């Protein structure tokens, strides 16, 4: 995985020692340049220390800006939050909290978000999910299996609007949550499977609900599969990737 080999080759102590020395030298030189002061000022003069503090504060801000740019560049190159977090000595959750939305490149509409473009394979996935955190996890899990043209909508009404818009690519797969505003997943599933133009699109329910009535109701409405969202993040990722693997790589889709 991107970043994994690099992180294993150097210890945090080595990185800290090299960085402290380099940043300290740079900060001292910048502070002297700002002051126009000699290399060895009187020990009772506070100005050099204040100038150094000022420079270090701006270096910190510059580092944060550059980290944001580097994280975005790593994401574009194929790294996921686990690798980005490991490079910064934090967990994947920490990296996601620090740099949310690295894979989310469009905010043109509040209910329809193109997340990935220029797919390597001609697979279109419609994600009907109103939970931003879960949507990011699903998007990340799919991105690690290869580029997907993924569109996220936040409720059933927006999903139908998207599906029925002339010229919109027909999804190869719909991943559907149950609990959403306006039109929930239960009602949307019934509409989809009773629509002659849409009923052959595979629909996988991915939800937190383990209620027997929800499971039975989904299959009664002709859902293709019902998957409960695991609590563990790694298990969640594997569940999404298994859905992707089966419906987009293994199963034969109808020719339309």
Whether 203 has a pLDDT exceeding 60, the answer reads yes
The sheet with strand 149-153 has its strands ordered as: 112-114, 149-153, 124-128, 173-176, 203-207, 225-228
Which residue has 């799919």 as its token pair?
A: 142
Give the whole-angstrom CA distance, residue 82 versus residue 96.
9
| Lowest mean pLDDT, pick from 82-86, 106-110, 163-167, 179-183 | 106-110
3-state DSSP call for residue 113? Answer: strand
Give the whole-angstrom CA distance, residue 39 versus residue 33.
10
| Lowest mean pLDDT, pick from 90-104, 113-127, 134-148 | 113-127
**Across the chain, what does the average pLDDT equal?**
79
Report pLDDT for 221: 93
Residue 215: both structure tokens together? 């499971």
Whether 136 has a pLDDT exceeding 70, the answer reads yes
19-58 residue pLDDT tens: 888 877 887 787 777 777 555 666 677 887 888 788 788 8
Span 157-161, average pLDDT: 93
Cβ within 8 Å of residue 170, ≥6 positions away: 124, 163, 201, 256
Task: Using a cut of 0.85, tell me whether the model's pTM lies above it.
Answer: no
Report pLDDT for 118: 41
Read off φ and ψ for residue 29, nearest 5 degrees: -65, -40
Span 160-168, average pLDDT: 90
């Amino acid at each position: 995985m991107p970043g994994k080999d690099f992180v294993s080759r150097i210890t945090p102590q080595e990185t800290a020692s090299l960085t402290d020395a380099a940043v300290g030298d740079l900060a001292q030189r910048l502070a002297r340049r700002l002051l126009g002061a000699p290399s060895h000022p009187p020990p009772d003069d506070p100005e050099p220390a204040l100038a150094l503090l000022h420079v270090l504060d701006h270096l910190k801000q510059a580092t944060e800006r550059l980290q944001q740019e580097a994280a975005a560049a790593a994401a574009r190159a194929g790294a996921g939050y686990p690798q980005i977090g490991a490079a910064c000595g934090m967990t994947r959750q920490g990296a996601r909290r620090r740099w949310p939305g690295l894979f989310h490149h469009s905010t043109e509409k509040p209910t329809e978000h193109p997340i990935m473009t220029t797919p390597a394979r001609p697979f279109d996935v419609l994600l009907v999910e109103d939970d931003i955190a879960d949507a990011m996890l699903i998007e990340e899990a799919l991105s690690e299996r290869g580029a997907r043209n993924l569109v996220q909508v936040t409720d059933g009404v927006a999903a139908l609007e998207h599906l029925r818009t002339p010229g919109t690519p027909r999804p190869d797969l719909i991943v559907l949550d149950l609990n959403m505003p306006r039109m929930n997943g239960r009602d949307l599933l019934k509409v989809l499977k009773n629509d002659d133009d849409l009923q052959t699109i595979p629909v996988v329910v991915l939800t937190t609900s383990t209620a027997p009535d929800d499971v039975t109701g989904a299959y009664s409405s002709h859902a293709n599969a019902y998957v409960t969202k695991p609590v563990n993040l790694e298990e969640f990722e594997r569940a999404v990737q298994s859905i992707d693997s089966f419906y987009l790589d293994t199963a034969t889709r109808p020719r339309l």
